[in-house]
Amino acid sequence: MLFFVGYVFTPYFSNLLNYSFLQSYFDASHYLIIVVASLFLIDFFQYVLHYVQHNVPVLWRLHRLHHFDKTVDGLINFLSHPIEGMISFILLSFFIAIIGIPVETLFVYAILAAIHGPFGHSDIRFSDKLEKIINKFFITPQFHRVHHHLDMKRGNSNFGGLFPFWDILFGTAVFPQKYKIFTNPTLGISSEQKPDYSILSFLINPFKRT
Ligand SMILES: [Zn+2]
């Protein structure tokens, strides 16, 4: 989905803008550098977008649907409001076009995200030692679990998609060991914000007064 929407919208924005910041650098670089740089740039965009979704009230109304279930597992990765999905994909396409990222590398990111998404939302637990090692390179399920915490003082953290670098760099990283979330998970959103378990309730939830 991510790839197909990007593949449709990115050429449209490229034609519209007729300028890309890094196009000439990408044209002159080795393909491995292009792929790695593109992955980091797309992941950085996802981090910023996710941060904004939590901190701009109107966007949180859409994004909170991804957080509503207190059972966080691999399936919740696929749970989001369709309007949020469309906004995210269109903004990402615009970002790819204006930076000049080759749209083909979105395919690589989409594959990694398709594998990492369900994994990152699962309840797989590593030992503290292994957790620390993996978290240096990739976001672990318990690291992302902190993000789904009911208490937004804790949940407003760990916005990263694939890599933990952006959270560490911008001071939004909270490592799971700090809150002992392994033994006492309290996840989800407040009951006033929650939809009922019906498709209609889910779809109209962002437009409710709460
Ligand atoms: Zn979130």
101 touches 26 (CB < 8 A):
yes
Of the listed ranges 6-10, 94-98, 103-107, 200-204, the least confidently predicted one is 6-10
Q: What tens digit of pLDDT does each residue of 169-194 get?
A: 999 999 877 655 554 558 888 888 88
pLDDT at 161: 94
**Cα(77) to centroid of ligand 1, in Å?**
11
Name residues whose C-beta falls within 8 Å of residue 138's C-beta, 6 or more positions apart in sequence.
Answer: 116, 162, 163, 164
pLDDT at 164: 95
Q: What tens digit of pLDDT does each residue of 140-172 get?
A: 999 999 999 888 777 889 999 999 999 999 999
**Cα(104) to centroid of ligand 1, in Å?**
27
pLDDT at 104: 85
pLDDT at 1: 64
DSSP state of 138: S
Question: 187 pairs with which residues across the strands?
Answer: 149
How many whole angstroms separate alpha carbon 11 and alpha carbon 203? Answer: 30
**Cα(18) to centroid of ligand 1, in Å?**
33
**Cα(79) to centroid of ligand 1, in Å?**
11
Q: Which amino acid is at 65?
A: L
What's the mean pLDDT in 42-57?
96
How many whole angstroms separate alpha carbon 205 and alpha carbon 126? Answer: 35
What the block records as the tokens of 70 is 């207190």
pLDDT at 143: 92
**Cα(121) to centroid of ligand 1, in Å?**
11
Of the listed ranges 60-69, 129-138, 178-187, the least confidently predicted one is 178-187
Q: In 28-173, which ranges are continuous DSSP H helix?
A: 31-55, 57-67, 82-99, 104-120, 128-134, 141-147, 152-155, 165-169
pLDDT at 76: 86
188 touches 68 (CB < 8 A):
yes
106 touches 138 (CB < 8 A):
no
pLDDT at 102: 87
Name residues whose C-beta falls within 8 Å of residue 204's C-beta, 6 or more positions apart in sequence.
Answer: 195
pLDDT at 83: 94
Residue that wins the pLDDT comparison between 190 and 42:
42
Residue that wins the pLDDT comparison between 153 and 42:
42
**Cα(63) to centroid of ligand 1, in Å?**
7
Q: What tens digit of pLDDT does each residue of 68-121 get?
A: 888 888 888 888 999 999 999 899 999 999 998 988 888 899 999 999 999 999
